[in-house]
A and B are shown apart, each in its own frame.
Chain A
């Protein structure tokens, strides 16, 4: 006997009243989920697990759905190459001639750079290992700018790893599954990245869901100009120093913003740098206290040594600073 045929079948609560109660209960549940979740922290382990499980499902689905897009793009590119082969050939020949002149200058600069490094005893950074990944899901809304990449913990990706496109920094990894990882883009409303602006300025690159994140807490001794380069500063040790981010532009709202380098091309393919912290950039032996040369009070060249300010900032950031210089 169904419920409707029984004595309870005569009870007819007001539909609107029940719908209202259901709305309030669902609202309470949504609020509980919202309060329970904190992005980027270890709280709410159940929700983190849920998010990882969802990424693990959505990643392969997105990969399958986006595969035809890749095929079509490859086909279009092949067609363009065929049609415009002559034009491209002429352009490449012209670029090759121009690059020849630059090559001589680059070799001279490299030799000079090597001599100066040897003179100063600067140790260059070892290359940071990286993995290559394809993004399969792309969220572009104002409240979340993230991507899902098809490389995860199985390939060594961990939370916090910086993500680069062929042109510049894209964001960092905020969630990792076995085969996929969630990338928070620099434009996400929750993204904060310490950067160097121009020659000596410092700022926090603050995403807001728009295309051009703003430069918050900007402090610089020099006047900022549109087009000044913006690089990661490495402050806080989350990102390596000197990764290209973009160039400064003045926004319509009168706030300094950044035109991201990574916007110049599609970021369907990304490099995830397997960077943990600065200790990765130097050999552990280099961090051990070295025997200092004995001081001599009667040294005749005491005035020729670097000043206190220079010598005081030399030890700790030297490897990172060298890395920034070499990348420039």
Chain B
């Protein structure tokens, strides 16, 4: 995915691979599967690139990729169109604005920043849903999805490491 040693990295290809993985993972976790009578959790996989792209490689393409991924989530989950794009933009914008504070942080500290970005996304979703429906979404439901989404930070960390390695090779 990062190309052969000595070759220039291909950020677009890497981004496309990330997008495809997010789409497939979201699709699989949206299947009506029950294990021992319990439903699968429904993490927001797209928050992983929303954080990693803003933290390591902010550029022109990631916001539009997140826009497309957000629309995909809305269509997949039957949410109002535009809800998840705005949530993802909020998380991306938050991480982007906090980018100077992220460099050189430890794994745990970065996890905390990632959880904060997830919080921004879910608070945005709560506000928008409240405006649309006139009712506040269940805090328990929001907390559960936030928890399983925040637990995905190792994936975001791996993505950031790959991007960092690719940048080093490029230099």
Q: A30-B86, A266-B32 are in contact. List 4 more A-B contacts (CB 8 A).
A: A34-B128, A69-B32, A139-B78, A207-B135
B93 CB-CB contact with A under 8 Å: yes
Judge whether B30 and A139 touch: CB under 8 Å.
Answer: yes
If A34-B128, A69-B32, A266-B32 touch, does A146 touch B60 (CB 8 Å cutoff)?
Answer: no
Q: Which of B28, B75, B137 contacts A209 (CB 8 A)?
A: B137
- List CB contacts (< 8 Å) of A37-87 with chain B: 37-39, 47, 50-51, 54-55, 58, 61-62, 65-66, 69
Interface string of B141-169 (1 = CB under 8 A from A): 11011000000000000000000000000
Given contacts A20-B96, A26-B64, A189-B129, whether A147 and B32 have CB atoms under 8 Å apart is: yes
CB under 8 Å from chain A, chain B span 78-93 = 78-83, 85-86, 89, 92-93
- Residues on B with beta carbons closer than 8 Å to the beta carbon of A136: 31-32
Given that A137-B31, A184-B78 are contacting pairs, would A19 and B136 also be in contact in the complex, using a CB cutoff of 8 Å?
no
Query: Which of A34, A51, A62 meets B75, CB within 8 Å?
Result: A51
B133 within 8 A of A: yes
Is B82 within 8 A of A37, CB to CB?
yes
Q: Which of A153-201 contact B (CB under 8 A)?
A: 174-175, 182, 184, 189-190
Q: Is B132 a contact of A35 with CB atoms below 8 Å?
A: no
Give the complex CA separation of A34 and B90 in angstroms: 14
Q: Cβ of B103: which chain A residues have Cβ within 8 Å of it?
A: none
Q: What distance in Å separates the Cβ of A17 from its nearest Cβ neighbour in chain B? A: 10
Q: Determine chain B's interface SS by DSSP, over half rule.
A: helix
Q: Are B133 and A190 in contact (CB under 8 A)?
A: yes
Give min CB distance, B79 to chain A, whole Å: 4
Q: B6-47: contact bitstring with A at CB < 8 Å (1 yes, 0 no)?
A: 000000000000000000000110111110000100101000
Q: Is A268 an interface residue (CB 8 A)?
A: yes
A206 within 8 A of B: yes
What residues of A have a CB within 8 angstroms of the CB of B137 in the complex? 142-143, 189, 208-210
CB of A317 within 8 Å of the partner chain: no
Assess whether A189 is in contact with B135, with CB atoms less than 8 Å apart: yes
Binding site for B on A (CB under 8 A): 15-16, 18-20, 22-23, 25-27, 29-39, 47, 50-51, 54-55, 58, 61-62, 65-66, 69, 135-144, 146-148, 174-175, 182, 184, 189-190, 206-211, 266-268
- B141–A210 touching, CB < 8 Å: yes
Whether A142 contacts B31 in the complex (CB less than 8 A), given A33-B82, A189-B135, comes out as no
Is the beta-carbon distance between B80 and A62 smaller than 8 angstroms?
A: no
* Known A36-B81, A208-B136; contact A18-B60, beta-carbon cutoff 8 A: yes
CB distance from A218 to the nearest CB of B (A): 15
* A146 with B81, Cβ < 8 A, contacts A62-B31, A189-B129 known: no
Known: A19-B59, A50-B75, A58-B76. A140 touches B42 (CB 8 A): yes
0/1 string, B61-82, CB within 8 A of A gives 1: 1111011001100111111111
Residue of B nearest to A53 (CB): B75
Name B81's contact: one of A34, A58, A137 (CB within 8 Å).
Answer: A34
What's the Cα separation between A137 and B77 when bound, in Å? 8
Cβ A22 vs Cβ B64 within 8 A = yes
Interchain nearest-CB distance for A211 vs B (Å):
8
Most chain A beta-carbon contacts within 10 A, residue among B63, B64, B70, B136: B63
**Who on chain A is nearest to B149 by CB?**
A141
- Contacting A at CB under 8 A, from B118-134, are 125-126, 128-129, 132-133
B77 touches A54 (CB 8 A): no
Which residues of chain A come closer than 8 Å to B59, judged between CB atoms? 15, 18-19, 22
CB neighbours of B128 from chain A (8 A) = 34
Q: Whole-angstrom distance between the alpha carbons of A267 and B135 in the complex?
A: 25
**How far apart are the CA atoms of A32 and B85 in the complex, in Å?**
11
Q: Which of A22, A35, A142, A182 contacts B78 (CB 8 A)?
A: A182
